[in-house]
Each structure stands twice: as C-alpha cells, then as structure tokens.
C-alpha cells in the first residue's frame, strides 16, 4: 500500500538511524568517487526525484520509485537492513543513499549530518599529520589532493577550481602552529597539489599557446598562482634556520621536486621554474648539488640535460655547458630559454653567450611557427635583450631583424634611436606605414630634438594624412605637426625652405576654410 514518507520515517526511525551510520562508515569524503555518490544523492533529494513509497507492512519493506536521468526502483528491508536497486551499481549507489537521506530528513537535519560526515575526515587528517614525518605528511596530502588526481580531464575548469578551493580550506587546519614549520608544510602542500593536478592542467593548456578560452585562462592563472606561492615558501624556508628535525623533510623534498619535474609531461618551463626555485635558493651547498648532478646524469632525457645545464650555470662550469648546448634543437628551443634568463639574471655573460649562440639558428623558425602573432613583438624584444646582454656584435643583432619582419619594427626602431640613426629610423616608419601615435610614443621626440631635418619628410606624411581626414579636429592635429616642423626647420637653419613649404600647403588646400583658419591661428611662418 502507498504510505507517506513521514509515516515510514516515524515507524522505522531506529532502523533509518542504523542505515545512516552504515552510510557514514561505508562512504568516505576523502574518496572522490564515494563523495560523488553522496553529492548525487543530495541532488536527488533536493530536486524532488523521489516519487512514491509503497509499503509492505507484513515484511516491513518499502519500494521507492526515483525519477532522474533514468527511472529506478529501490527496495529497502527494515528487518535485515538490506537494500536493493535496479541500477547497475553494486553497493551503496546514489539512489539507495538518496532514499535513506530522504527518510532521515523528515525528522533530522541532513545538512548537519553532511557537515559532521565531512568533519570526521578533517579530524582524521589532523590526527595523522600530527606525526612529524615526511611519510605522514605525504600520506595526508596525497589523500587531501586525491580529487585533483581523479578529476575527469574533460571536466569544466570551474569545477576544477571549485574542487581546489575545497582542498585549500581543508589544508588550513592541517598546517603546523610553529612558525618554523609553516613554510615547510606549504612547500609540501604546493608540490603535492601541482603534481596531483598536472595531468588535468596539461590536458587543458597543452604546449600550444595559439588557442585561447576562458577555461584555459582559469587553469593558467591557477598554475601561475601555485608556482608563485611555492616560490615564496621556498624563499621563506631558505631564510629560516634549519632545524635538525627537518633534515628528513629536506631530503624528501629533493626527491619530490626531481620527480615532479622529470616524470610529468608538458609545460616544461613551468616545471623548470619549480625545480629552479629549490636549487637556486634552498639547496645551495656544493655537496648537495654534486649528488643531484649524479642522479640527473642517470636520466637519459633531453629535459635532464637542461637541468644539468642549470647546475653548470649556478656553479659557473662553462666548459661543461659548451658541450651541453650542442643538444639544442628546434623542438626543445623553448626549454632552453629559461636557462638563458637565469644566466642573464646571474650576470653570467659567458654562459648566456653560449646558450644564445646555440639558439641563434632556430630563432626565426620558432618565431614564425610557434609564437602567437600577438606575442611576437614581446618575444623579439626579449631575444634582442638577451643578445645584447650576451655582448653579441651589433651587426649580428641587426641582421636578426630581417628574420623578425614587421613584428620586430618597434624593437628595431628603438635599436636605431639608441644609435642616433634617425634617417634610417624615419625610413623604417615610412616603409612599414607606422602610425603617428606609435611613432610619437617611440623615437619621434628624440629625433626632433637631435636631428629634426631627418624626420621632416615623415612629419609631412603624417600632416597630409590628417588633412585628408577632412575634419577640424584632424586639421588641428596637422597644425600641431606643422609647429613641430617649424621648430625643427628653424633649428636646422631652413627658415626659407619652411616659409615656401607653408605657402605651398596653403595654396594646395585653399578651399579648406577650416584648415586655413587653423593655420592662421598657428602663426606658422618664420
């Protein structure tokens, strides 16, 4: 017979409490799959998916129909607390759990039960992490970050960010109270989070930066934020006195960061950034670096070669680096750029020159095939800056601009202005039809001050373009340019030329009354 849910709950309150206890101990919040069952069960209850209860008073059984993606039947026996479901899931499925939740909800707070269920997990983690060993910390943090390891690679980035925010909240009470231990714990936590999330991160970011989406932007920001926090914690850890009791933790960290860097796939620059933070700031003793080098030499990968080169730069081993840069190819070009940045920061001109000399043949190919059009100008400026820091001859640097093409115009313009080659600068502006606003923000003011005669033809072109726009605002801009040309002509001793030029412009545009008025106001004759 049909019976209301309130009546069923009232008759079997004790049995329902026992079933809730079974669920509590059968489904664990730290297990992402079991936590998902609970979330789906809660969703079924909130959405009113439980349609009807049919009660057998003789055998004390109920049959419940649930409408969701599919219609399923759940049977519960209150005599032996046995449950059955027509879905294909063995054990506690979302449907059986939802029925028990729905019955429990009639006289109790389901929200309080869920909070208690999740709190017990946190208490277990705190109890385990109180054991100050690297193994205990890694065990707890592996369990804590398990949702990042098991998340579907196609899952929406918003879900990924939400999952991590929940993990972040759970990590707060796990951190040690002592200030000496806090940065060490944070380093462990950030490394575990990055390692756990890396398959998902790489699936969304990949090695190709040409595509863009908001989801990709979310994930990229997450990685950047985690690497920054990891770096900050490493710096904080390196400035604190090292405790004897942390020796085992430091030893384990070497293994963890090496494994993270070499065993994961893709986005090598980000992995290298994490590895560099540790060995540049925390593990600075020569004996530690020698041991790490021996371990890296056993790794037969191109990425290990780059890590070995990192130590050659840090230790000033130029001869060894000269041999290693022979491994540079177009495929691993981007992997070597962080080493060039490091050599530049360290002021190691010799190492930087060796790396840039090896990269030089592949710069043009990499620019055209791998760098986004919107980022090419930034890339060119970075490469030219590294070549300059490496003391490359100016003619070699200038020859490279033929590879850069139009994307290198602003960098080449700066190159010419720095050397006061203003005639060539003006010709460059002409050739690539650079707008007046861009030229003014670049070297125009300097050129007018140092060699005004060199830029008079360029200013004439800009003024003519403004006049052709046929509006008063543009006429005013043209007159402002004429005033600059007037000053330049006077400085160059070309007063007679300038007066003839102004008269010619007036004659040519005599019918443009607004222009004539603006020119008259400008008092352009010398």
> Three-state SS across 2-66?
ECCHHHHHHHCHHHHHHHHHHHHHHCCCCCHHHHHHHHHHHHHHHCCCEEEEEEECCCCEEEEEE
pLDDT(327) > 90? no
- In this structure, are strands 71-77 and 61-67 parallel, antiparallel, or unpaired? antiparallel
- Dig out the tokens for 452 from the structure: 């005004």
Closest to 24 in 3D by CA, of 106, 124, 142, 167: 124
Say which residue, 21 or 124, is predicted with more confidence: 21
- Predicted confidence band of residue 124 (pLDDT cuts 50, 70, 90): low
The string of pLDDT tens digits covering residues 440-497 is 888 888 998 889 889 999 999 999 999 999 999 999 999 999 999 998 888 888 888 8
Packed helices 134-144 and 157-171: angle between N→C axes, nearest 10 degrees: 140
With residues binned 3-state (H G I as helix, E B as strand, rest as coil), the percentages for the chain, rounded to 5, are 75, 5, 20
Question: Token pair for residue 214?
Answer: 């908001």
pLDDT of residue 11: 86
Mean of pLDDT values over 395-404: 89
Q: What pLDDT does 210 receive?
A: 57
Summarize the confidence of residues 103-127 as an average pLDDT. 75
Q: Is the pLDDT of residue 415 over 80?
A: yes
The tally of CA atoms less than 13 A away on the side-chain side of residue 505 is 26
- Tell me if residue 353 falls in helix, strand or coil: helix
**Residue 316, pLDDT above cutoff 90:** no
Alpha helix ranges (H) inside 172-301:
182-205, 214-238, 247-263, 268-277, 286-297
pLDDT greater at residue 492 or residue 195: 195
The structure tokens listed for 289 are: 């670096």
3-state secondary structure of 11: helix
Q: ∠ CA(443), CA(445), CA(446), 5° rounding?
A: 65
- The predicted model gives 292-316 an average pLDDT of 91
Give DSSP secondary structure letters for 388-427.
HHTT--HHHHHHHHHHHGGGGHHHHHHHHHHTT-HHHHHH
Compute how many other C-beta atoms are within 10 angstroms of the C-beta atom of residue 416: 21
Residue 28 CB neighbours (<10 A) = 17
Task: State the Cα–Cα distance between residues 137 and 185, nearest whole angstrom.
Answer: 8
Phi, psi of 494 (to 5 degrees): -115, 45
From 186, 178, 139, select the one nearest 30 (Cα to Cα): 139
Q: How many residues does the chain have?
A: 526
Distance CA(425)–CA(419), nearest Å, equals 10
Q: What is the pLDDT of residues 136-175, one digit of tens each?
A: 899 889 888 988 988 888 888 998 998 899 899 888 888 8
Radius of gyration of the chain from its Cα atoms, rounded to whole angstroms:
35
Q: How confident is the model at residue 175, as a pLDDT?
A: 83
pLDDT for 262 beyond 90 = yes
**SS3 call for 54:** strand
* pLDDT, position 121: 60
Which uninterrupted H or E stretch holds 346?
A: helix 333-346
Q: Is residue 127 scored above 60 in pLDDT?
A: no
Does the pLDDT at position 422 exceed 90? yes
Query: Which two three-digit tokens encode residue 420?
Result: 């006061």
Comparing CA positions, the residue from 198, 178, 174 lying closest to residue 256 is 198
Find tokens 């991160």 and name the residue. Answer: 201
How far apart (Å, rounded) are the C-alpha atoms in residues 253 and 188?
Answer: 8
Q: Which residues contact 66 (CB under 8 A, 6 or more apart)?
A: 44, 49, 50, 51, 72, 73, 74, 95, 98, 99
85 has which bridge partners?
74
Distances in Å between the alpha carbon of 173 and those of 53, 123, 147? 43, 9, 19
63 DSSP β-pair partners? 54, 75
Mean pLDDT of 26-47: 84
Band (pLDDT 50/70/90 cuts) for residue 46 is confident
- The pTM score is 0.69
The pLDDT score that the predictor gives to residue 203 is 92
Measured from the Cβ of residue 419, the count of other Cβ atoms closer than 10 Å reads 12
């Amino acid at each position: 017979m049909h019976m209301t849910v309130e009546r069923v709950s009232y008759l079997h309150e004790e049995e329902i409490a026992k079933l809730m206890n079974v669920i509590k101990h059968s489904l664990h919040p730290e297990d992402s799959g079991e936590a998902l069952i609970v979330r789906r069960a809660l969703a079924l209850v909130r959405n009113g998916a439980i349609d009807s209860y049919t009660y057998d008073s003789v055998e004390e059984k109920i049959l419940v129909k649930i409408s969701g993606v599919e219609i399923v039947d759940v049977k519960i026996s209150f005599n032996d607390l046995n449950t059955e479901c027509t879905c294909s899931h063995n054990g506690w499925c979302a449907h059986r759990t939802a029925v028990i939740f729905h019955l429990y909800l009639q006289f109790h707070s389901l929200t309080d039960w869920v909070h208690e269920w999740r709190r017990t997990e946190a208490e277990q983690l705190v109890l385990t992490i109180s054991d100050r060993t690297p193994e205990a910390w890694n065990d707890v943090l592996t369990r804590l970050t398990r949702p990042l390891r098991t998340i579907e690679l196609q899952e929406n980035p918003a879900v990924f960010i939400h999952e991590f925010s929940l993990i972040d909240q759970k990590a707060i009470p796990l951190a040690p109270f002592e200030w000496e231990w806090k940065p060490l714990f944070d380093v462990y936590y950030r490394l575990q989070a990055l390692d756990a999330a890396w398959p998902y991160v790489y699936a969304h970011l990949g090695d190709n930066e040409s595509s863009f989406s908001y989801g990709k932007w979310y994930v990229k920001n997450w990685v950047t934020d985690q690497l920054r926090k990891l770096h900050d914690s490493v710096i904080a850890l390196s400035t604190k006195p090292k405790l004897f009791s942390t020796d085992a933790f430091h030893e384990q960290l070497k293994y963890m960061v090496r494994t993270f860097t070499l065993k994961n796939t893709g986005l090598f620059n980000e992995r290298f950034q994490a590895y560099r933070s540790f060995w540049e700031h925390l593990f600075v003793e020569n004996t530690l670096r020698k041991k790490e080098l021996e371990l890296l030499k056993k790794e037969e990968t191109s990425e290990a070669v780059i890590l070995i080169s990192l130590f050659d730069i840090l230790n000033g081993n130029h001869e060894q680096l000269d041999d290693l840069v022979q491994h540079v190819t177009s495929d691993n070009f981007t992997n070597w750029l962080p080493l060039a940045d490091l050599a530049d920061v360290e002021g190691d001109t010799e190492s930087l020159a060796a790396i840039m000399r090896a990269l030089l043949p592949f710069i043009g190919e990499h620019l055209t095939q791998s760098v986004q059009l919107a980022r090419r100008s930034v890339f060119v400026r970075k490469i030219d800056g590294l070549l300059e820091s490496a003391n490359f001859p100016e003619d070699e640097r200038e020859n490279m601009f033929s590879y850069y093409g139009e994307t290198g115009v602003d960098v080449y313009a700066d190159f010419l202005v720095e050397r006061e080659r203003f005639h060539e600068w003006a010709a460059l502006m002409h050739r690539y039809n650079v707008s007046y606003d861009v030229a003014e923000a670049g070297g125009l003011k300097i050129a007018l001050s140092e060699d005004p005669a060199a830029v008079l033809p360029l200013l004439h072109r800009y003024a003519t373009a403004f006049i052709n726009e046929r509006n008063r605002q543009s006429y005013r801009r043209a007159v402002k340019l004429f005033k600059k040309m007037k000053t330049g002509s006077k400085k160059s001793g070309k007063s007679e030329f300038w007066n003839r030029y102004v008269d010619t412009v007036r004659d040519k545009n005599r019918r443009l009354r607004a222009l004539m008025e603006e020119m008259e106001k400008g008092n352009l004759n010398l």
